[in-house]
Amino acid sequence: MVKSKPSQSPFSGYPVYKLFLILIYLIVLVEAVTVSGSDSPSPYAWPSHASKKLNKPVVLLISSDGFRFGYQFKTETPNIDLLISRGTEAQTGLIPVFPTMTFPNHYSIATGLYPAYHGIIMNKFTDPITGEFYNKNLDPKWWLGEPLWVTAVNQGLKAATVYWPGSEVPKGSWTCPTGFCKAPYNVSFPLEERVDTILSYFDLPESEIPDFMTLYLDEPDIQGHKYGPDDPRITEAVAKVDKMIGRVIKGLKKRKVFSDVHVILLGDHGMVTNCDKKVIYIDDLADWIKVPVDWIQAYFPVLAINPRWGKDVENPDEKNMELVAKMNEALSSGKVENGEFLKVYFKEKLPKRLHYSESSRIPPIIGMVGEGLMVKQNRTNVQECFGNHGYDNMFFSMRSIFIGHGPRFRRGKKVPSFENVQVYNVVVEILGLRPAPNNGSSLFTQSILLPFGATRET
Ligand SMILES: [Zn+2]
C-alpha cells in the first residue's frame, strides 16, 4: 500500500463543494456578528458595551412630524419597539405645547421655551404691533431663545442638523455651516438620504463627530393632513418611519456605536380628523356682533383676532371687552350651530396651563376651538375632510411619542407623560452643557436620566 504524501493544506482532498459551503457559512456568520441582521431587531445582535467606540456623549434627536401617540400600535414597528424595550418611554405620550402646531412645537423642543417666550407663536402670524408677517421666515429677529444647536456650539461642541424648524437661522456661534446644516428645507429630499447624511457623520474621526444632531422626518404628518389619522395610508407612513428608524439603528450598529449614542425619538404633535364636518361660522354671530374679516388672523384650530378699531374709538379696550362678551353670548346662546365648541378669551384670561399670553406677537383675542372642529367665516367655502392639529394641548389626540435610548436612559423604563419643553434640559444634561434660561425644570432630568457616570444595567 502506497502511503499518501502529507497534505500541504488541511483541506486538500476535501470535495470542492464542501469548501464552498464552509466559505458561505463563514461569510454569513461574520455578517451576522458585524451588521447584526436587518432592520428587524434581533435579541442576539446587541453586543452591549463590548463594541464601545465613542468616548463622548452624543445625542441624535429625531422628530417624526405628526406621529400621534398610539400610531405605534397600528402596525408592526419592530425598530421603534426595540428603542422602547431597551430605552425609556413616556408611557402615555409626549405633551405638545399650545398651539399644537409644527413650528411652535419643534422650537419649544429645541429651546425648552413655550411659544410666548421663543416667539414662534404660530406657523404663520402677523405681529399685531409692527404689522409684519411671519411665515416661516429665517430672519433671526423672529427666533428668540437659545436652541440646542446654539447651546452646543456656543460651549465648544459640534452640532449638525438634517432639518429642524429654526436650524437654518444663524444665531450665536451657529452659522448653519455647509455640510453640517441641511438647508434650505426640501420636502422632496428622501428620508433615506436624510438618515444616511446623519450616519455619514459617524464615519468622521471621533473628534469631528457632531455631539448633537437633529434628524427631521416629515411623515406621518403629510399623510395625516391629507387623509386624517385613521386612514390606511397613515399605517403605511408609520411603517415607513419605523423603517427609517431601522436604518438608523442598523447604520449605528454597523459602525459599532449604537449602544453609545443617545437616540431620542419624538414627535411634535398628534392629529385629529375633522371629517365630522362640525363647523362654526363667524357670520352666524352677526345678530350679536359683526367681526370684520380683516380682523381675523386665523380661524382654526386657533381663532386669532386682532381688532383694529378706528381712531374715532376712544376706548379700544372697552370695545374689545364688548366684542369678547358678545361673541361668547352668541356662542353659548344655543342658537349658533356648534357654538358650544368655541370659547373666546382675552389672551391674558386664557387658562394658565396654556402659557399663551406673555408675548406681544399673540393677538389680543384668542378662541379655543373644540377638538376636530373648524371655524369659517361663512358657508360659501368648500367642505373638505382631512386631518389637523393645533388644538388645545389637553386633547389626547394632540399627543405624540417620546422614547430615549442610550447610556443615560434606563432600559424598559416608563415615565409619565410630560411637556416637550422638558426635552431641552434632558439633552443639555446628557451633553454636560450649561442650559440657557428655559421653561423646563432642572429637576426633571433626574426623573428620566441615569446619573452621569452610572453604569447602565444590561
Ligand atoms: Zn408637525
- The mean predicted confidence, pLDDT, of the chain is 89
Per-residue confidence band for 310, with pLDDT thresholds at 50, 70 and 90: confident
The one catalytic residue among 77, 102, 197, 214: 102
Cβ(114)–Cβ(96) below 8 Å: no
| Nearest residue to 405 via CA among 4, 59, 6, 8 | 59
Place of cell 452621569: 452
CA of 100 to the centre of ligand 1 (A): 8
In terms of DSSP H, where are the helices of 272-389?
316-331
Which tens digits make up the pLDDT trace of 259-270?
999 999 999 999
Place of cell 423646563: 440
Which tens digits make up the pLDDT trace of 412-428?
999 999 999 999 999 99
| pLDDT score at 261 | 98
* 180 Rama class: left (phi>0) / alpha (psi -120 to 50) / beta: alpha
| Nearest residue to 90 via CA among 334, 267, 294 | 267
* 97 Rama class: left (phi>0) / alpha (psi -120 to 50) / beta: beta
Q: Is the model's pLDDT at 273 over the cut of 50?
A: yes
Which of the two residues, 26 and 173, has the higher pLDDT score?
Answer: 173
| pLDDT score at 381 | 65
Q: C-alpha cell of 324?
A: 369678547
Instruction: Tell me the average pLDDT across 46-71.
Output: 83
| Nearest residue to 277 via CA among 374, 368, 205 | 374
CA of 262 to the centre of ligand 1 (A): 23
Q: Does the annotation mark 102 as catalytic?
A: yes
Place of cell 436587518: 38
Count other Cβ atoms within 10 Å, centred on residue 325: 13
| pLDDT score at 27 | 42
Cβ(242)–Cβ(80) below 8 Å: yes
Instruction: Tell me the average pLDDT across 430-443.
Output: 97
Which tens digits make up the pLDDT trace of 202-221?
999 999 999 999 999 999 99
CA of 413 to the centre of ligand 1 (A): 26
Per-residue confidence band for 456, with pLDDT thresholds at 50, 70 and 90: low
Which of the two residues, 7 and 83, has the higher pLDDT score?
Answer: 83
Instruction: Tell me the average pLDDT across 15-42.
Output: 41
Which tens digits make up the pLDDT trace of 164-181?
999 999 999 999 999 999
